Structure 1
Amino acid sequence: MEAESASTKRRREDDDDVIPSDTSESMESLFDADILRLTKVISASKITTSRQSEMIDIVSRLQATFRKSLISHRVTQQTADLANTLADVQTALQNVSAKLATTSLAAPPAQLSYAQAARSKIVEKVKVPSGKSVSPVSRSTVVIVPKPDSPLKTADETKTTLMKVLDPQKYGLRLDRVTKTGKSSIRLESEKTDLTKIPMDILDKAGLVVKPQGKSLPRLSLINVPTNLSPEQVKEAIISQNFHDASDEVLHLANQHLKALFRFGPRDQQNGNWIIEVHADVRRYLLASRRVYIAWNACRVNDHIRVTRCFNCQKYGHHSSDCKSELQCGHCAEKHDTKACSNLDRDPTCANCVRFGHKGDVVKHKAISNTCPAYLKRLDAKISNTDYGL
């Protein structure tokens, strides 16, 4: 049993001398009733009027004395309770002081400025081209490829082989997506399973191997940047004008990883736009700032997340200048150039949704639509393969 505190011991020892408040109130009521009865008896007694007055006066003084005594007792009791409470508080403070004396504590943080407080809120969502904001989902991702000496030549063969040797039920795998990523490679994605723990010896015996899959750094778009600046000058201006209250770590990451990739928009105007690549922590810092200052301009800053689509064949992942596929219309999905389409009076048909086996109303939109299921799937994969620091 724990040792009895000094204040508790004092309180217990004083119990015999303390009248509880409810008991004192009862005593007062009884005393008043007795006084009233006594006064009535005196008034009814056959004694001289002067003697009655004297006796009633004595009773009144007794009543006043009793009340003073009762009030004094209550004050004493409350004072004792207060003293005991203060003793408990003092003991608690002593215990806290003792713990603080034996614990190494960091110096208290300095008061944050408004800008620092704003940046302390992590930007959790990514703004996509449709104007919406989505929350990135952390996924474990691995790419499975055949060994150089493997007879496997296609992604379908790789997938079939993997499914023969790897039992998801046996190893507790929960796969969200299995997709083709190249001529003979496939990508596995999971939100619930660490896919890097797939037994490598099983893959090795099947002639397969895991290809290292690093994530891309986030990209930001800067609007209203002076067009006369070089990539090096853009980077120098961003770092020198925007990280005045950043931590040393964030400033170091900006110096190491910030890159001005390319400029887009009109080139014959005074101001244009730039796409920059940054570390996840630098992205949070700049987005929380709402503006990026470059030279004399305050530039808007947003996430830049794009899915490349070919204007010739409508497929994702390459530009028209690198296209090796047949023409396919972005309006009706037939084999001709979109600009030469003669079916504009018909409902649109998405070439990618048709290619992926969709039917019915699901395909009734143009290939360029931001609500296209095929596009949204690619966009989700793009976000999942970008390092947002989750």
Structure 2
Amino acid sequence: MASTLEKEIRSKIDDVKVSTRTTATTTIYILGLDPTTKDDEIKRALVTETKLAATDINIIALRKGKYEDQTAIVEIPKSQAMALVKLKRIRIGWGECGIRERINVVRCFKCLEHGHKTRECTAQVDRSDECIKCGEKGHKSRGCQNRVRCVKCAVDGHRADQIKCPHFKKIVEELRRQRIELGGTNSRQGKKDHAP
């Protein structure tokens, strides 16, 4: 829409400088959707709640949950996303659905810990040759055929970078709490995010 408006202004007025700015977006999860809910129903509810245009709403995926419900992964402009996150719920169809922001947790590929990047790592141990999926050395998770084993908990059944891991879940919940308190500010760096 911005590029269309820019062209229209340029066609009507000579010698005017027009620039467009990309709006930062945030990805949210809409939880507990009825199994029959479709994309257009989600968009209608978001348009009603946020006053966004339907074109500003990008439904990335609708995923089935283990209890017959669905979760929608939706990308919308950041200011409306944060307002929805603060509301915590939205009515879609006959039900009230939970809303959560997707939290991207920074992970170091040297020590495999969370909260910092490889270039910031001060760990003495280099675990960069270990697989984050199974914890074994000599391969990466992409082609790993081994059982899933958490390198943090040292138990089978989940990875250290999945919400099933209690350590990872605690990090995500703390980041989510901080972001809500700070109104969408990146709490790790203390400045506004430019991307989800």
More strand by share: 2
The structure with higher relative contact order (CA 8 Å, sep 6+) is 2
TM-score, normalising length: structure 2: 0.46
Larger Cα-atom Rg: 1
TM-score, normalising length: structure 1: 0.26
More helix by share: 1
